[in-house]
Amino acid sequence: MSTILSNKPALLAAQMRQMLHGLEEYSETYVPTSPTKDELQASLTNLEGKLKAQINAAGKAEAATQGLQTARKDANYTARRMRDAIYAHFGKHDARIVEFGLDTLKSKSTSGTEKETGTEEAPTA
């Protein structure tokens, strides 16, 4: 998963499952206050239910699609809040956020020469 949350319901559900996995892995270290793990689970369950309803209800596609769009919007909002809470707690450079399915941001490195950084090797004779 990356820092971008998908608008496609199946991919968003996979991203949310990855976040839940991360919350289980770090349950002792990180307990989100808002949204909670239960809110994320409920939102995921709702999204998956609406996705199944859309797939199974060919004749009721419009209503199922509207319900799915609402569930996707709510799930995306909840997932964004969770992602922001994870970044706020761990930071964007912490390797542990990979367990939540998020990408770490690389540190900005200065592109200096060896003389500037003092890493040149001593000449051998």
> Over the stretch 30-86, which tens digit does the pLDDT of each residue have?
888 888 889 999 999 999 998 888 877 666 677 778 889 999 999 999 999 999 999
- Kindly state the DSSP code that residue 4 receives in the 8-state scheme: S
Domain that holds residue 16: 9-106
- Residue 61 counted as domain residue: yes
Do 20 and 40 contact (CB within 8 A), yes or no?
Answer: yes
- Residue 75 counted as domain residue: yes
Output the pLDDT for position 44.
Answer: 93
Q: Quick one: tokens of 60? A: 């009721």
- Residue 25 counted as domain residue: yes
- Residue 125 counted as domain residue: no
Mean pLDDT for all residues in the chain = 82
As for how many domains the chain has, the answer is 1
Q: Quick one: tokens of 96? A: 């542990």
Q: Quick one: tokens of 55? A: 């797939």
Give the confidence band of 112 by pLDDT, cuts at 50, 70, 90. low
**17: Cβ contacts below 8 Å, ≥ 6 apart:** 44
How many CB atoms are closer than 10 A to CB 87?
17
- Provide φ and ψ at 123, rounded to 5°: -65, 140
